Structure 1
Amino acid sequence: MQAFAKLSAAAILAIGCNSAFAQLDLARSGSVDTVSSNPNPLMYVSQNLARNATATYRYLDDLYSLGSSSPTRLALVPDPLGSSRKVFSHTVYSTDPLVSGGSRTEVSLKYDYVIEGVRWYAFSMLFPSDWQFHASPTVVAQMNTSQKTTSVPPPVAVVASGQDLNIELHSNYRNMSGTGTDPATRANTADLLVRAGKIETNKWYCFVVRADWSFKPGIGSLQIWMNGNLAYESVNAYNAYDTWLGNYPKVGLYLPGVMQVPSRRLYTDFIYTGGASSTYDTMAALTPCGTAAAPTANVIR
């Protein structure tokens, strides 16, 4: 398992700030050409961001951290639907050792942490024809939070449960230090479940998220589109936590606790991020679905 560097939030925001505010932040997100590690590692984050922004060939660890029992569980393969793009194939077996308390093969962006303010995200996943429908949850994407002490669920998670594809939302305005008269806990964290649709195999599910991150009451907004349809929206409401480094995206397979199926395989596209000046069309155009809305079975408004 590759571990991402421990960076201060100020350092991440200050380094390469021009790219962070761009419509598409290629220094921190986007495609890679191989799942191998870069044979020429650089010492400083600023050096990595500068190289990423202009590189014509990019390695997995230029942009992503891998969480898995083995690097062989992640592969770069042709799009199973036949397009010219390459995508990630994530695999987990029930016999694999647990990683941080769960079965997982997932990738997260190494340098894309946002504490407060507007950030755009685009990510996609495809459930293959041999996907086993089971009531136990499989998390396939997250907008996770970086915390030092209190363990809380991610602000946004896309979860496959049985035949349902759900969006789970979690947030808390209380302090995360574990001290004081009313600290944040798992029990007093706000939870919301949105049933986004029924899972169809061999179909891309493409998400675009505009998050104005905030843990402060009355401040913040969140819009989540799935396959061109607005699946969830909130305004003037907190949507995250008082995070340490910030909120960051990840995609892949995460099965909490004991795995209830023999194996899981999932295809995902790369993660793309953009600054406040980005738009839905800019981000959606990067996904396998493009900007056109696609019908989705039993979407609940």
Structure 2
Amino acid sequence: MKYFIIFFILAPLYINVQHNNLLLEATFENSSDLKKWISETCSSSSIILTDSISRFGKQSARFELNKTDCVVANGKRSELVTSKVSGYERWYGMSIFFPNNYSFDSEPEIVTQWHEIPDFDLGETWRSPPISLQIQNDSIYVVILWATQNVNSNKTISGYKKINLGLLKKNSWNDWVFHIRFSYQTDGLLEIWNNDEQVLRYQGPNSYNDVNFPYFKIGIYKWTWLEPSLKSTINKRVLYYDEVKIGNENIKYKDITPNKN
């Protein structure tokens, strides 16, 4: 009997600790989850809550981007942004649904990214995200950029990697977990799981030599629509996101991975 008593005493303590390790959670069950983010969209209909599909619970967030949409933050994008929980080591979990009519395109787009913050006092300007999850043709890639010099630009980065994570799975939820230690040096770490299978463990530089750590964005960014020389074959993108979580360095994998119906 005493073992059961100990369990009931410790169980609430464990739950509270894991809750404290969870820095952000967006289940999109109500509009308050959208208020946890900053919207970068062309219109109020670009990101909406929907009960047509969900990973867990009753709703998810529907993201839409059209080629004719206005330019937002110097690009064609429909994204949610948070910068309040950045840090050296973080865990991220989310689920993304690619509908059947998600046509393949030879020109890439970003569906999740960790964006840099320039050292404006040193003369830096905005650059490409050091880590991004991208779709091109029928495959998913992670793209990693880094720069070791104090002042850098897109033209002076120190390195670039584009790693194929496998084929895109349409008409199903794709669960993702990212474990990141942001660094422009050899102590950087990027681990990725897709549907509970580890698909990448990369050790090495993965960000820029900046004062601030990168911030997290979910949604669609199609920069190629602003470049006339690039021949994108699609005019519209729709994606669904659910069960988005951010955890600190102490969170357990089972607590950051998306909940499943």
Give TM-score, length-normalised by structure 1. 0.71
> Which residue number corresponds to residue 59 of structure 2?
86
> Which residue number corresponds to residue 225 of structure 2?
258
> Which residue number corresponds to residue 202 of structure 1?
171
**1:180-219 matched pairs, under 5 angstroms:** 183=152, 185-215=154-184, 217-219=185-187
Deviation of residue 157 (structure 1)? 0.7
The sequence identity of aligned pairs, in percent, is 20
Deviation of residue 246 (structure 1)? 2.2
Deviation of residue 280 (structure 1)? 1.7
- SS of aligned partner of 1:173: coil
| Structure-2 change in CA distance of 1:33 and 1:82 (3 Å) | closer
| Structure-2 change in CA distance of 1:29 and 1:92 (3 Å) | same
> Which residue number corresponds to residue 144 of structure 2?
169
Q: Across the two proteins, how many residue pairs are aligned to each other? A: 236
Question: Unaligned stretches of 5+ in structure 2?
Answer: 1-15, 227-231
Q: 1:104 aligns with which of 63, 69, 77?
A: 77
Q: Matches of 1:287 and 1:189 in 2, distance apart?
A: 38
Q: Which amino acid aligns with 1:227?
A: N
For the Cα contact (< 8 Å) 2:115–2:216, is it kept in 1? Answer: yes
For the Cα contact (< 8 Å) 1:269–1:288, is it kept in 2? Answer: no
For the Cα contact (< 8 Å) 1:204–1:288, is it kept in 2? Answer: no
The structure with higher relative contact order (CA 8 Å, sep 6+) is 2
Q: Deviations over 1:127-164 (max 9, x none)?
A: 11111111111210012222232333212111111111
Q: Matches of 1:59 and 1:211 in 2, distance apart?
A: 24
Check if 1:151 corresponds to 2:126. yes
Q: Which amino acid aligns with 1:233?
A: R
Q: 1:31 aligns with which of 27, 32, 51?
A: 27
Q: Matches of 1:223 and 1:201 in 2, distance apart?
A: 23
| Structure-2 change in CA distance of 1:251 and 1:97 (3 Å) | same
Consecutive aligned runs of 4 or more in structure 1 exceeding 6 Å deviation: 18-21
| Structure-2 change in CA distance of 1:152 and 1:166 (3 Å) | same
- SS of aligned partner of 1:102: coil
Q: Matches of 1:207 and 1:243 in 2, distance apart?
A: 27
Give TM-score, length-normalised by structure 2. 0.81
**1:228-267 matched pairs, under 5 angstroms:** 228-235=196-203, 237-258=204-225, 260=232, 261-267=234-240
Q: CA RMSD in A?
A: 2.5
- SS of aligned partner of 1:269: strand
Q: Deviations over 1:224-271 (max 9, x none)?
A: 111112121123x22211234421211111100426322110111243
> Which residue number corresponds to residue 50 of structure 2?
77
- SS of aligned partner of 2:26: coil
For the Cα contact (< 8 Å) 1:78–1:87, is it kept in 2? Answer: yes
Q: Deviations over 1:36-92 (max 9, x none)?
A: xxxxxxxxxxxxxxxxxxxxxx3522x101111112111111262675342110011
> Which residue number corresponds to residue 3 of structure 2?
none
